[in-house]
Amino acid sequence: MKNINFKQLFSQYKLMALLIAIAIIWAFFSWETEGGFVSARNLSNLLRQMSVTGILACGMVLVIIAGEIDLSVGSLLGLLGGVAAVLDVTRGMPLPLSLSIVMVMGLALGLFNGYLTAYLRIPSFIVGLGGMLAFRGILLGVTGGQTIAPVSSGMVYLGQGYLSAGVGSSVGIALFMIAVLLTWRQRTNRAQHGLPVAPMWRAVARILIIGLVLSGFVRTLNSYDGIPVPVLLLLALLGLFSYIASQTVFGRRIYSVGSNMEATRLSGVNVKAVKLWIFGIMGTMCALAGLVNTARLAAGSPSAGTSGELDAIAACFIGGTSMRGGSGTVYGALIGALVMASLDNGMSMLDVDTFWQMIVKGSILILAVWVDVSTRSGR
């Protein structure tokens, strides 16, 4: 009996469990590195390191919720990052133009994957596997197997730039205002339709917690060099994708397609179009991740993004996305990415051998999914 209660508690507070896991990992590494791990400088690094996987995970979580998988994202990221470097370095194109070309290419290739999956009914696993090989091949062809450098300073800013302390603080305040506004709107809206409204103290407590977290976040990063640009991008994507997943018609359909595609189709939903656009979004995220990756390295590398798909997929699963499809959250996937990045970062600081790092990451993935599966109430 007690066991069942524990299970229920766990699945209800999955987010809490994940945050506790992160707290344990951070505490362990801080203790081992005598505080070095939680220094402002390292946290800033850590967040920058997770940004590429995080951007991919934002798209991947939607793909997995819809009951599909995309294995081509690592290669596609590499290809689009490589194209960005070629356009920037070899062609000398102005930054806005090369950015738009890469984004449109990402969308188009993603839609192509989606078309193959949804309309030609090729299993997405195969489409991804084929894309993984083909996109990497195209990348090798485009770059001639060479690293393309140095990219322009404008592009480098995307991956390595920081917001000044003033701008960073304003971003923090703006986010806080949005949180207040959303809470207030939700309350008035519910009251308007005569639905029960949660007590005031809960809204206030919620806003207070958000405020504390935000100010801690901004202060820590400002005490180093400021908020890194890719981290800001990731935050924006977190907001956008959480909004899409939980507030929009499209988002609701992603969940319902993944949970029971046939029932959704019989309810008059164009399930093929839903899948097509999910892959389109995934492609666009590959473009963004490719740009950030090229900017971070200040070069287009033919091996960029290798096994990026695995990191992104692992992040989603660690973050509690169901592999049957139908359930999962964007913030969960990002916390999953943070877990992976923390392990990478911490073990590197401790000079753990690479082979150990791989073994640990693999085991954590399996452990996380085992915990998730065994606490899912018996279905």
Residue numbers at the binding site for another protein (CB under 8 A): 186, 189-190, 192-195, 247-250, 252-253, 255-256, 258-260, 262-270, 322, 326-327, 379
**For another protein, which is the closer residue by CB, 215 or 260?**
260
What's the closest the beta carbon of residue 369 comes to another protein, in angstroms? Answer: 18
What's the closest the beta carbon of residue 329 comes to another protein, in angstroms? Answer: 12
What's the closest the beta carbon of residue 212 comes to another protein, in angstroms? Answer: 27
**For another protein, which is the closer residue by CB, 34 or 262?**
262
> Quick one: tokens of 196?
């029960």
**For another protein, which is the closer residue by CB, 21 or 65?**
65
CB atoms < 10 A from the CB of 354, how many? 9
| Residues contacting 360, CB < 8 A, separation 6+ | 343, 347, 352
What's the closest the beta carbon of residue 286 comes to another protein, in angstroms? Answer: 23
Task: State how far the Cα of 238 lies from the Cα of 102, in Å rounded to an integer.
Answer: 21
The label of the residue with tokens 């103290």 reads: 201
CB 227 within 8 A of CB 160: no
Task: State how far the Cα of 222 lies from the Cα of 210, in Å rounded to an integer.
Answer: 18
**For another protein, which is the closer residue by CB, 2 or 379?**
379
Annotate 40-108 with DSSP letters as a single string. Answer: HHHHHHHHHHHHHHHHHHHHHHHHHHTT---TTHHHHHHHHHHHHHIIIIIS---HHHHHHHHHHHHHH
Which string of b and e fits 11-37 if b means at least 16 CB within 10 Å? eeebeebbeebeeebbeebbeeeeeeb
The label of the residue with tokens 């929009």 reads: 248
**For another protein, which is the closer residue by CB, 96 or 194?**
194
**For another protein, which is the closer residue by CB, 186 or 363?**
186
The label of the residue with tokens 């209660």 reads: 5
What's the closest the beta carbon of residue 317 comes to another protein, in angstroms? Answer: 16
What's the closest the beta carbon of residue 257 comes to another protein, in angstroms? Answer: 9
**For another protein, which is the closer residue by CB, 104 or 263?**
263
What's the closest the beta carbon of residue 167 comes to another protein, in angstroms? Answer: 29
Q: With the C-alpha atoms ordered 23, 28, 32, 34, is the resulting torsion angle positive or negative? A: positive
Task: State how far the Cα of 324 lies from the Cα of 298, in Å rounded to an integer.
Answer: 39
**For another protein, which is the closer residue by CB, 160 or 256?**
256
Task: State how far the Cα of 232 lies from the Cα of 358, in Å rounded to an integer.
Answer: 28
What's the closest the beta carbon of residue 375 comes to another protein, in angstroms? Answer: 16
CB 135 within 8 A of CB 76: yes
Task: State how far the Cα of 258 lies from the Cα of 324, in Å rounded to an integer.
Answer: 7
Task: State how far the Cα of 28 lies from the Cα of 351, in Å rounded to an integer.
Answer: 15
CB 293 within 8 A of CB 304: yes
**For another protein, which is the closer residue by CB, 267 or 303?**
267
What's the closest the beta carbon of residue 297 comes to another protein, in angstroms? Answer: 36
| Residues contacting 265, CB < 8 A, separation 6+ | 271
What's the closest the beta carbon of residue 108 comes to another protein, in angstroms? Answer: 22
**For another protein, which is the closer residue by CB, 89 or 257?**
257
